[in-house]
Structure formats: C-alpha cells, structure tokens
Structure 1
Amino acid sequence: MRLIGLVAAMSATCLAPQVAEAASVSKKIEITAAPAKVWAAIGEFCDIGSWLPIVAKCEMTETDGKKFRTLTTGDGGVLVESLERWDDAGMSYTYRIRSSPLPIENYIATIKVSGAGGTSTVEWSSSFDPKGAPEADVVKTITGIYQAGFAGLKKKL
C-alpha cells in the first residue's frame, strides 16, 4: 500500500507542469573613464534618453512617492518603467517595465557602474518572461538594446 502511494506521488510530480525559469540578459562594457564620471553620464532616472539612442523622449512622473518614466521611442513605441531602487553611493539603479510593446513580462533590470581609477565597468542585467515570441528572439532584442545603450554611453563620454 505504501508503495502504491509513493508511485502515485512520483507520477503526479512528473506529470505536473514544470515552472519555466525566467530568461535573462547580462552584458558588460569596459569604459576608459573614472566610475564617478560614467555614473554622472548615466544621470538621473529620466536621463536615459541622453545615451540610449532609441529613446526620443522621457517624461518623469511620481505617484505615491514612486518614480515612473515614460519612454517614447523614435518609432512611437511607449514604455512605462518604475524605479525600484536607487543607490547613488553604489552607483546602481533597478527598474521594472510596467508596460511595453516588447514581447516580455515581469522584466526587472539593474544598471551598475564599478571600477577604480580611470577604468569603469558598466553592467546592465535583467530577467524577464518572454511573451508571445521565442525566448532566443527576445534575448536578441534586449541584447541589442543594451549594446546600443553602451555605444551611446561611450559616445556621450
């Protein structure tokens, strides 16, 4: 009788839907500039348009003490993002996409600057669930956005 219960439990476990892990992207770039200078170039939460070329306009709002930015892309797409954590001393911030034309949901990302002297590392990492598109395609899109941002940041510096 005990064996039957064990087999039934194992069968239920094997047949249960498996929870998919979130997709992720993490990219880094080395920049020949002091970390404080790179952090200043990244700027405040809505300064992303000064170094991410796809952003045509950024508007900042605040609701119940929480900051939101509405990004309008050059092709008219609109993303709404919330600032989840700002660490000026640690030179990082974390944000969440609340709405977007991108085929993703549950997107959360962190941008961090580190380094010493005249060399900095900028890391942009995220996790998300692809929605309505193959994971490989979504990862490629997010990677392209990060690479464009890094190129824009280098150009700004």
Structure 2
Amino acid sequence: MNTKEYKNWRVVVVCELNAPPAKVWDLVGGFYNINQWHPDIIISEVPEKQAEERDIRRKITFPNQKPTYEELVFMDNENMHYKYKWNKGEWGEIVQNYHAQIQVVETKLDARCLVQWSSTFYYFEDGLTEFYQNGFKNLIKMFGGKLINN
C-alpha cells in the first residue's frame, strides 16, 4: 500500500542561452525534437496510427522505461511557445494530470534568450525539476548560458 501523500505541484525552470531565440526555437520548438536536446530521452517519435488520429502526439522513450505518450495542446511558432500534456503510458498514471509548456523569449536582439519550461502535476514529490534542469544543462552546453532559478 502506498502511504505517500500526493499533492499538486507547479514547477518552473528557466535558463538563459547565448544564442538567437530563433535558433534555439528551431531545436526546442519542434515537438518531436526533444530527444535531440534532452539527454534523458533516447527516442522521440511519431506514434503508430498518428495519421488516423486528430490529435498530435509523440511517443517518448526513457532508458529502461516503457514509452510515454504526450499530446500537443497548443503551438505558437510566432511567439515560440507550445503546450502539451500526458496522453497515455505508465509514467502518467503515476505522475498524474501532467500539463507542461515550453517558451523561448528574446532578451537581447538576435543574441540571447530565456527558455522557460513549466508544468503542473499531481504526485507525492517534485518529480520534474531535476529532469527539466538536465535538459537545460545540455542546452547550455550547446549554446552557452546559465540556469536562472538555481
């Protein structure tokens, strides 16, 4: 029996990158690109039967875990922002009601930007800050910059 008390969480992680926002968005803004910049995700792919479904989904695979499926809720390429949520898979049955968003904001014209990754979910602990930071640390290696809220 699980004796851990679940509660609602809100996680916000921000990094500053030394790169033009359009260049960062080209990588981060692709819904299926997450494995190209996040070291904890080994595969991100279009799920089977995607063409038969109305909603846009991705199948992501972490090392030694069953795949998780996420659904794109909102995409705004002009403002470099998208929202997504858990769709199916074992992870989302444990970390419940997961909704997240990623946004890139220009801070210095064609030279620097902030990236914010935030989410809300229901779980017994903060299960995402470290995961988001791992992705941002890799972006910092790629573009230069720093974590902001650390």
Q: Report TM bin, short chain.
A: 0.7 to 0.9
Aligned partner of 1:69 among 28, 45, 58: 58
Which residue is 1:142 aligned to?
Answer: 128
Aligned partner of 1:86 among 54, 75, 80: 75
Distance 1:43 1:84 in 2: 13
- Bigger drift between 99-108 and 112-121 goes to 99-108
Which residue is 1:4 aligned to?
Answer: none
Which residue is 2:148 aligned to?
Answer: none
- The one-character-per-residue Cα deviations of 1:18-64 (angstroms, maximum 9, x if unpaired) are xx973110111111111111111214111100011111111213343
Residue 53 to residue 77, structure 1, CA distance change in 2 (3 Å): farther
Structure with higher Rg: it is 1
Alignment TM-score, normalising by the size of structure 2: 0.79
Gaps of 5+ in 2: 1-5, 144-150
Where does structure 1 differ by over 6 angstroms across 4 or more consecutive aligned residues? Answer: none
Gaps of 5+ in 1: 1-19
Count the aligned residue pairs.
131
Q: Matched residues, percent identical?
A: 30
Higher relative contact order (CA 8 A, sep 6+): 2
Which residue is 2:122 aligned to?
Answer: 129
Greater share of residues in helix: 1
Query: Does the 8 A contact of 1:84 with 1:93 survive in 2?
Result: yes
The DSSP-based 3-state class of the residue aligned with 1:93 is strand
